Structure 1
C-alpha cells in the first residue's frame, strides 16, 4: 500500500517530557515502541472508521507515515539504545499535529523536551 495511505498512531499519553523519543503504537493496537521499524502501519480506512480511538487528540493522533519517515532520525532513547525514532521536540510535534488524518476532537497537548513542567494540583 502506498505510504500516502498509511498512518502511524502516536501516543500522547505514553510520551513524557523526559523522553527523548515519541511513543508510537505497534501493529494491531498491541503495545508501544519508540523505533520506527517496530511501529504499526494503519491504513486510512481503519483509522477513519475509528477516529475517536486513533485520532482523538486527547490520548492519540494518527499522522502520515510519509511525514514520519522524513522526521525520523537516530535517537538514543531512554533505554540507552539507539534507533530510528521521532525526536521528542516541539518542532516535531507541531508537524505531526498538522499532518493528522483529520482535525482531532481535542487539541493535542503533548509533553516534549524543553517544555515547561505541568502544574500539579495543590
Structure 2
C-alpha cells in the first residue's frame, strides 16, 4: 500500500481565511488524564483548555499528523466535543478551577477520541492511533450557570 499525502483543502468562497487545525497529543494524554492534551501555540508546550490550544496551518498539521504521537484535527471538528470549564472541590469544600487556564476542555473518553480520529487528516503512513482513555472516577465537574460553589 502506497502512502498518500493529503492535499490542502480549498478555501470557501467569500472567506479569506485558510482552515486551521488543532494537534491532539496521543503521547502526552495518558489514561490518568481526565482531559485530552493539545499542542499549545507555536510548538511551545501543551494545553488542556481551549484558549491555549495552538492553531496550525495545513502544512504544519500534515507534518505533525503521524498517528503515533499526534493527530491533526480541523478546528471545527472539536467544537461539538467541548465540555464546560472543569472545577474540583478544594480542601475547604469550595469549588476551584481544575486548571490555571480558564475555558472549555475535551474529556478523555473513547467516544471523543473516536470522533477526533475520524475527523483527523489522513496520515502518510498506515498507522492506527491508539489513545489511552481515562477510566477512573472523575474529580472534576462543571459549575451550574451563575453558581460560585
Alignment TM class, shorter chain as reference: 0.7 to 0.9
| Counterpart selection for 1:80 from 85, 98, 108 | 98
**SS where residue 29 of structure 2 aligns?**
coil
Q: Distance in 2 between matches of 1:112 and 1:40?
A: 22
Tell me, yes or no, if structure 1 residue 108 matches structure 2 residue 133: no
Q: Distance in 2 between matches of 1:88 and 1:107?
A: 18
Q: Distance in 2 between matches of 1:35 and 1:83?
A: 5
Structure 2 gap segments, 5+ residues each: 1-16, 89-96, 137-149
Q: Across the two proteins, how many residue pairs are aligned to each other?
A: 109
Which aligned segments of 4 or more residues in structure 1 are displaced greater than 4 angstroms?
Answer: none
TM-score in terms of structure 2 length: 0.66
TM-score in terms of structure 1 length: 0.79
- Of structures 1 and 2, the larger Rg is shown by 2
CA contact (8 A) 1:57 1:104 kept: no
Residue of structure 1 in register with 2:54 after alignment: 40
**SS where residue 42 of structure 1 aligns?**
coil
Q: Which has the higher helix share?
A: 1
Q: CA deviation at 1:98?
A: 0.5
| Counterpart selection for 1:69 from 76, 79, 83 | 79
What's the C-alpha RMSD, in Å, of the aligned pairs?
Answer: 2.1
| Counterpart selection for 1:23 from 37, 48, 55 | 37
Structure 1 gap segments, 5+ residues each: 116-122
